[in-house]
Amino acid sequence: MIAEPNTASNLPSQKENAVHDETVPESAVQNSSCVRNGNLKTPREKRKVREQCENIRRNSSSRRVSQLQNGEVVEAVTLFEVVSMGKRAMQSVVDDWVEAYKQDRNVALLDLINFFIQCSGCQGMVTAEMFHSLQKKDVMRKMTETFDEETGLQYKKFMAYPWILTVTWPVDMDNEDYPLIRTGPYWKKFKANFCEFIAVLVQQCQCSILYDSYLMDTIISLLTGLADSMVRAFRHTSTLAAMKLLTAVVSVHLNLDVNKHNAQRLYEVEKKRISGKRTNYRLDQLERKRKEYEHKLLEIQNMMNAIFKGTFLNRYRDVIPEIRATCIEEIGSWIKTYPDAFLNDSYLKYIGWMLYDKQAEVRLKCLLGLQGIYSRKELVSRMDLFTSRFKDRIVSMPLDKDHEVAVQAMKLLMLMSQNCEDVLSAEDCETLYQFVYTTHRPLAVAAGEFLYKRLLSREGDEEVQPKGGGKFGASTDQLKRLIRFFLESELHKHVVYLIDSLWDWAGKFLKDWECMTTLLLKNAEDDGEALSDAHESALIEIILATVREAAEGHPPAGRGAAKKILSVKEKKIQLEDCTKITEHFIMVLPQLLAKYSTDAQKVANLLQIPQYYDLDVYSTGHLEKHLDALLREVKDIVAKHSDMSVLEASSRTYYILCSEEIAIYSQVDCARTQLIDELMGQLDQLLDGFWQKEEGFCMDAGEISRMHSALRRVAAFHNAHDLTKWNVCDKTLRLLVFEMEHGSLPVLMILPALQCTYFSLLWQLAAVSENSPKETLFALRRNLRRFSQICTCFLHHKEKDVREKVFMILCDWLLILSHQDSNNNEETLGLLDYLPNTSLQEKLLVFIQEHVFIEEEEESKDLTEEEERKDESCKLDDLHKKRSLLAAYCKLIVYNVVEMTAAAEIYKYYVKTYNDFGDIIKETLSRTRHNNKIQSAKTLILCLQQLFQTHAESQDSSSGVDFSSASFTNMKELARRFSLTFGWDQVKSRESVAMIHKEGIEFAFQGATGVDGKCLPPNLSFLLIISEFSNKLLKPDKRLVYAYLQRYVAEPLLCRGDEWQPLIWYRNSLLANEDEESSVLSSSGEWSPVGASKTSFKRKLSNGSLPETSQTEAASKAPDPQCASQLASAAGKSRKRLKSREMHLQEHLPFLCPGGLRRRYCKDEIKTEDVSEEGQAEDTIEDVDVDVVGADQDS
């Protein structure tokens, strides 16, 4: 076997792991490659080959060559066509080829060689010459891969013993396509057929021609030669074929090894049986058979070594990830199939090395291969060195950026944990356990399996009962371990993620709600191992999470894009679980609420369980007494607690149970009315006492606390229930008016009073209908105006909590009022059609600036660890409040409640506060752009203009603008970030970007009239800011913007010097990559005159020649005639493209192309003529420079 040296002088050197990636042309199914004897030596022969290849390319792939045989027309198809179409059984295809090989092995082998060449997507020809006809020196010289410039053909010469093959094909570098990488079911099936063909070929030949020292030598030589090619298609196809060939040969080796051992055993048995005789025919026969197997095994071993060393060692580090992945996938298969030969560190090291590959596909193949090894316990004992060397890498791979790699790494670690003793340390396991909280569900489920099998479920749990005995022994033990893990992880708010991760593996004991509630109701006196308070809280959270998972049947928020579509079986299980939950908790929940009625956190969690009930069970099961018990406990809890989470959970429980469609509605509604009557009675009593002491207002802490609790209870129930008939609005409005006039109410009363009034007005607003009386509408409108005035006044309240609460209510209130979908009478429309006035909009904006974007000075204090933790928690809570305030205001902008220009003040802080508020500001920008592209662009440029004016005012007027100052640098960075938000689709954003340039140019030249218009514009430096958007302009748009810019320059020759550098830089950004404008800027930075003629394609190139130039220019730039004709042809095409683009621009960018308007600095006008489609397209518009388009648009 002769390796292919890199002797071509016109090709760069090729390293083992740095193959140059070239491509072959696109091909379909070929049947026309031909085999010829001899070499192509003369140019005439090369041209003939090229013509033949081009003719072959023109022919359809579906063509069949017909031949006359015995008077009948027979369709001749190639091996490639048969395999690619897959219409025949692969075994019969291979059998036909084997028969052809036995008749004439040279012809059959050349057909097989042709097959591999065609599978590479090559449309060329294969020429063969016998190896013995050339000297060795000539052979080495011809082992090259070259490109013939004269014929445009590429040649590949390599050794395929006993031939030297020359593959010739036309090169088309624009096509990066060949069968193995094509998409679609057809080509996917082709790849499978290709691999199957190789496997079946070896299988069918293993008893005959596989060992003839001719077939395999030729195939291995061919594939090794192609695998060293610099053409990607050859390299990829031959590597896949070689790897599949080695896989098939390994299977043959295994069969031979088994046969050899059987023959050896028979030989030994026969030898013992006839030990007394000298000779025996049967013994000699077995001996010959055994030696034959040994000889075949030796040949197979040589084949395996040749393929591995000739192909694998060169290609497992190929630059193409698909090739690397193929190599790693197959070596994993070899190790698993034939561990006696391949399961050693000499082969395992390649998989270990490729765990660090940059491509996820390769890393994934490594992990899948290792899973096959570690899943077999008998193989793990031979992996000690590999495990110790690469364990740390595998443990780190669940953090891989590719989700599938991370999941398979976790599964591999699960297998290692099961089959390798003590391979994972306690620290490794603790790290891996935390992946149950990740948002990617497949990874979390894999980590859940790891957690469940290693920590929660231990062997023998079902058989061994704990000391306490009982029927819940195993489940109780598992629950306690789960609770300990949950508390030790310190991620208490993520219990739903933990349960979702364990659900697929621990669903049986997680649905054992009887065990859980029994554990909660157990008293310490009965059992000394009762749960602590922290363990009880954790278990209640786990109960709630398991109930939610069973009832809803889909992952929690943030884990999965959409709700899971359940199958029929899953729906049946879900209904059964809901019934089980209802039947169990209907009886147990009142007991749990009675036991934990004083604990707000536990009660708030327990009260969420009834929302998952099947409420019909109450009536069908005659369980109304348990409903009465539940309502009594909830009523008692409402009376005991003032915590908002408890009150809201209680209110929601009444809302769930008060469904009018179910039979228990009247019973629950009666209890609800009774409860609200008591709450309102308490509130009325407290308010009466307050108003009696109004003149000498003085309330002690106890009275304030009682008033606060009463108002919170009413607010919580008013959120879910309509309390309009209790006239809550008038009572709370009176309190708010009193605070607005006197300003003496405590915050604990103001906040719930605001909430009550807000909910009351919302219920009244929702009740407005077409038949509502005018008196009701006028009263509602009066209350709405009154409440808006109160909220506006409270924006300046002395208490920060009041200001923030009022702001949130006001933003939501304005959003609701301005977007009411009303089909009612005119009074209703007039009532609901409400938008904030300018004064209120300014107040809202000032509030955001003072409460969200204000910088708080951090005081350096020596804090303990506990104090630092609390301080960090306070900072996070404060940041959450600020984000909520900003999001509420941005919604007003997005939904056009306030003017879009208000967003300019928000955008100023985009870069400065990117970590805290960048996502909110970016989403606001995206939504406003979707609503109105032009207005959004104007808002962006307004933001930059305001920042520039502030910067200019802070600078010394005599020294000008300092480009290196921090504020100017921040402006440029902000503009760059704005430009990035437009994405890669320049066509989609062309109008917005063009508007930014237009507004920016106009702003830059404000105040430039001066004396004869020659003074330096004060805002000229602003052009540097808008230059950040130049790369978002299409080329035709750049020409228009450039033309628009030139209109503002009165005398371009005077625009020189350092003070005019921003203008020059801005023009450079517009003329980037514009060859036709390369002469505009001279080395001294001078401008070409506006009206000067240009020697570019913007001027008409008539009669195939260049525009007229001066004699000096003609002398210095005169091209030869051939070059001139080529340039004229190219220029004509450019003019046509430019004309169509500019006509399109005038349609889509009217603010840059207002045809017929007067120019500011040029007296000429644009004149165009109507042009017919037949012949005058090049005689119009091109005669006029693009830089004389349009005038500015009246704003």
pLDDT tens by residue, 477-502 = 899 999 999 998 876 678 999 999 99
Q: Is the per-residue pLDDT at 894 higher than 90?
A: yes
**pLDDT on residue 527:** 56
Q: Is the pLDDT of residue 136 over 80?
A: no
Give dist(CA 177, CA 193) in Å, integer.
19
Using the 8-state DSSP alphabet, how is residue 983 labeled?
-
**What's the average model confidence in pLDDT over 106-117?**
87
> Could you read off the pLDDT of 286-335 as tens digits, one per residue?
888 888 888 889 999 999 999 999 999 999 999 999 999 999 999 999 99
1098/1092 Cα distance (integer angstroms): 12
Q: What is the pLDDT of residue 129?
A: 60
Question: What pLDDT is stored for residue 44 in this prediction?
Answer: 54
How high is the pLDDT of residue 7? 33
Amino acid at 81: E
**Rounded-to-integer distance, Cα 750 and Cα 739, Å:** 8
Predicted confidence at residue 1119, as pLDDT, reads 38
Q: How confident is the model at residue 90 (pLDDT cuts 50, 70, 90)?
A: confident
* Residue 394 to residue 383: CA distance in whole angstroms: 14
pLDDT of residue 755: 94
Q: Is the pLDDT of residue 518 over 80?
A: yes
Q: What's the pLDDT at 244? A: 95
158: phi then psi, degrees, rounded to nearest 5: -155, 170
- For 955, phi then psi, to 5°, come to -90, 155
Work out the pLDDT band at 274, boundaries 50, 70, 90: low
Band (pLDDT 50/70/90 cuts) for residue 756 is very high
Q: What band does 157 get if pLDDT is binned at 50, 70 and 90?
A: low
pLDDT band at 681 (very low <50, low <70, confident <90, very high): very high
Q: Is the pLDDT of residue 993 over 50?
A: yes
Can you tell me the mean pLDDT for 1042-1062?
A: 73
Identify the band that residue 819 occupies on the pLDDT scale cut at 50, 70 and 90.
confident
DSSP for 557-573 reads TTSSSS-----HHHHHH
pLDDT score of 589: 95
pLDDT in tens, 4-15: 333 333 333 333
Task: List residues bridging with 163 in a β-sheet.
Answer: 130, 160
- Range with the lowest mean pLDDT among 418-427, 769-778, 1122-1131? 1122-1131
Split at pLDDT 50, 70, 90, the class of 1129 is: very low
Residue 986 pLDDT class (50, 70, 90 cuts):
confident
Tokens of residue 180, six digits: 């193995």
pLDDT at 530: 73
Mean pLDDT for the stretch of residues 761-778: 82
1020's CB contacts (< 8 A; 6+ apart) are: 1004, 1005, 1059, 1060, 1062, 1063
Least confident among 317-331, 499-513, 1001-1015: 1001-1015
Higher-scoring residue by pLDDT: 396, 688:
396
Judge contact between 596 and 558, C-beta under 8 A: no
Model pTM? 0.75
Residue 1017 CB burial class (10 angstroms; 0-12, 13-18, ≥19): buried
- Quickly list DSSP for 305-326: HHHIIIIIHHHTT-SSHHHHHH
Give the pLDDT confidence score for residue 576 in this predicted structure.
Answer: 92
Identity of the amino acid at 551: A
Pull the structure tokens for residue 646.
């408890």
Give the per-residue pLDDT at 1169: 35
**Mean pLDDT score across all residues of the chain:** 77
Q: What is the mean pLDDT of residues 189-194?
A: 90
- Is the per-residue pLDDT at 1172 higher than 80? no
579 confidence band (pLDDT: 50, 70, 90): very high
User: What is the 8-class DSSP label of residue 1106?
Assistant: P
Average confidence (pLDDT) over 389-417 = 96
Q: Picking from 693-697, 1016-1020, 1038-1042, 1174-1178, which range would have the lowest pLDDT averaged per residue?
A: 1174-1178
Residue 20 identity:
H
- In angstroms, rounded to a whole number, what is the distance separating the alpha carbons of residues 545 and 499? 7
Tell me how far apart the alpha carbons of residues 861 and 858 are, in angstroms, rounded to a whole number.
Answer: 9
Which of 109-118, 195-204, 318-327, 920-929 is predicted with the least confidence, judged by mean pLDDT?
109-118
Q: Measure CA 494 to chain center.
A: 24
Position 111 scores a pLDDT of: 87
Residue 465 pLDDT exceeds 80? no
- The structure tokens 């110790």 sit at 388
Q: What is the pLDDT of residue 473?
A: 67
The sheet carrying 35-37 orders its strands as 35-37, 125-130, 163-170, 153-160, 145-148
Q: Is the pLDDT of residue 242 over 90?
A: yes
- Identify the bridge partners of residue 147 per DSSP, sorted by sequence position: 154
CA distance 130 to 1122: 47
**Sign of the CA dihedral 192, 197, 198, 199?**
positive
Contact by Cβ (8 Å): 643, 598: no
Residue 770 has pLDDT above 80, yes or no: no
Q: What is the pLDDT of residue 859?
A: 56
Average pLDDT of 709-733?
Answer: 93
118 or 451: which carries more pLDDT confidence?
451
For residue 671, what pLDDT band results from cuts at 50, 70 and 90? very high
* Each residue's pLDDT tens digit, 638-659: 999 999 999 999 999 999 999 8
Instruction: Please report the pLDDT score of residue 156 as a whole number.
Output: 65
Across 1166-1193, average pLDDT: 34
- pLDDT, greater one: 393 or 1135: 393
Per-residue model confidence (pLDDT) at position 646: 95
- 1123 or 1144, higher pLDDT: 1144
What is the rounded average pLDDT of the residues 166-176? 57
Which range, 687-691, 767-771, 1133-1137, has the best average confidence (pLDDT)? 687-691
Q: Read off the pLDDT of residues 217-234 as tens digits, 9 standing for 90 and up.
A: 889 988 998 898 888 888
Position with higher pLDDT, 246 vs 1096: 246
- The yes-or-no verdict on residue 1009 having pLDDT over 80 is no
The pLDDT value recorded for residue 1103 is 34
pLDDT at 411 over 60: yes
DSSP 1057: S
How many Å apart are CA 81 and CA 85, to the nearest integer? Answer: 6
Give residue 1055's pLDDT band: very low, low, confident or very high (50, 70, 90).
low
Window from 253-267, 332-346, 832-846, 1045-1059 with minimum mean pLDDT = 1045-1059
**Which tens digits make up the pLDDT trace of 962-980?**
777 888 899 999 999 999 9
Count of helices and strands (H, E) across the chain: 47, 7
pLDDT tens, 925-940? 999 999 999 999 999 9
Mean pLDDT of the region 777-788: 87
pLDDT value at 372 more than 70: yes
Top pLDDT among 285 and 70 is at 285
Higher pLDDT, 636 or 493: 636
Judge whether residue 1083 has pLDDT over 80.
no
